Amino acid sequence: MLLAAILVLAQDPAPPPAPLQVRTYSGAVMGTSLEIEVWGPDPARLEQAVQAAVAEIRRVEDLMTDWRPSPLLDLNAAAGSGPVPVRAELFEVIELACEVADLTGGAFDPTFAAAGRLWDFQAEPPRLPDRKALQDALGRVDWRRVHLDRQASTVALEPGTVLGLDGIAKGYGVDRAMAVLMAHGIRHALVNAGGDLKALGRKGGTELWEIAVRHPRDRERVIAVLPVANTCVVTSGDYERFFELDGRRYHHILDPRTGLPATGCMSATVVAPDAALADSLATALCVLGPKEGLALVARLPRVEALVVGMDGTIQTSAGLRAPAGTSAGRGR
Nearest C-alpha neighbor of 316 from the set 266, 275, 270: 270
Radius of gyration for the alpha carbons in the chain, expressed in angstroms and rounded: 23
pLDDT of residue 160: 96
Residues of the chain with pLDDT under 70: 1-17, 321-332
Nearest C-alpha neighbor of 164 from the set 82, 283, 57: 283
Please state the φ and ψ torsions of residue 55, each to the nearest 5 degrees.
-60, -35
Q: Which domains does the chain have, with CATH numbers?
A: 21-62+178-316 (3.10.520.10), 71-164 (1.10.3980.10)
2, 162 Cβ separation under 8 angstroms:
no
pLDDT of residue 27: 98
Give the Cα separation of 88 and 74 in Å (integer): 15
pLDDT of residue 275: 98
Distance of CA 6 to the CA centre of its chain: 55
Give the Cα separation of 256 and 193 in Å (integer): 24
pLDDT of residue 93: 98
Nearest C-alpha neighbor of 144 from the set 131, 161, 121: 161
Give the Cα separation of 107 and 327 in Å (integer): 25
